[in-house]
Amino acid sequence: MAESERRAGTSEEEAAPLQQSFMIPRKEINVVSDMAKWKRSQAYADYMGFILTLNEGVRGKKLTCQYRVSEAVEKLLAVLDTLDRWIEETPPVDQPSRFGNKAFRTWYARLDQEAEKLVATVLPRQLAAAAPEVAVYLKESVGNSTRIDYGTGHEAAFAAFLCCLCKLGVLRVDDQLGIVFRVFNRYLEVMRKLQKTYRMEPAGSQGVWGLDDFQFLPFIWGSSQLIDHPSLEPRHFVDEKVVNENHKDFMFLECILFITEMKTGPFAEHSNQLWNISAVPSWSKVNQGLIRMYKAECLEKFPVIQHFKFGSLLPIQPGTS
């Protein structure tokens, strides 16, 4: 059992001894040769363990199924609702360039200022000292305010944010469905709204060679949801009717719907990788392939990981597990 899984099940007191000293996470991957440190780090082991634990947790389950929604999950949803409300309060400005609306910088400045307070609302009082460390991952998860872009590195920061809350014992093992189906799904809604409202550029986009321009994790977890589905096969997700009828149950199809809303032209042209994936015979093969692809295309790529931050909860030190 991965260390992160073990810790996620322990009590708050055990998971986060009060004498733990927190720190502001910082960059440690500065040159390509530093990537070896990342692969060996406790942070990598915990992050990957977290992604895979959730991947197992949602297997074969619909977004609409019954599951426990804990107080911590409710508090995280309130944080995301706040970010959503700020978008409403910060309309795009008139500017000559079509992409990268500068109003995003105003929106981001507000998050930059309020992030610690927002995170503090999720933490129990005895863990208040963790807020500055955990808040860094929340701030990193919404895109870059200089370039006004968003990509899989920002998405990874949000997963790291949730992983930290698990390591602190704020989120528990029985929160798995709440984490993916409620919190992560709400995060996706807010990110899509940001991307649309401020016309954010894809960060380091691989264009048609990426899955979509912005996200990766919902395709992994979404394909796990569909494993052993009695009638939906990978070939069906390019069928508009199937997507329209089933997207409320499955994260993967919700992603496809968003792509078809945002892009015009034949699916095979604007989303070539996904078109290729639709030919894979089973969802379990799709799921395994996407996990391999995520490691290779996101977690092992210097341009993505150079921005990842390391602290006491996700340390750069070599892993023990």
What are the strands, taking DSSP E only, across 22-161? 26-27, 149-150
Predicted pLDDT of residue 247: 97
Q: How confident is the model over 38-61, as pLDDT tens digits?
A: 999 999 999 999 999 999 999 999
Q: Quick one: tokens of 162?
A: 């949730």
In the chain the domains, ranked by start, together with CATH numbers, are: 31-308 (1.20.120.1150)
Angle at 29 between CA 169 and CA 21, to 5 degrees: 35
The half-sphere exposure of 68 on its side-chain side, counting CA atoms within 13 A, is 9
Q: How confident is the model over 131-148, as pLDDT tens digits?
A: 999 999 999 999 999 999
Distances (CA, A) of 62 to 65, 250, 258: 5, 6, 18
Q: How confident is the model over 194-253, as pLDDT tens digits?
A: 999 999 998 875 544 467 878 999 999 999 999 999 999 999 999 999 999 999 999 999
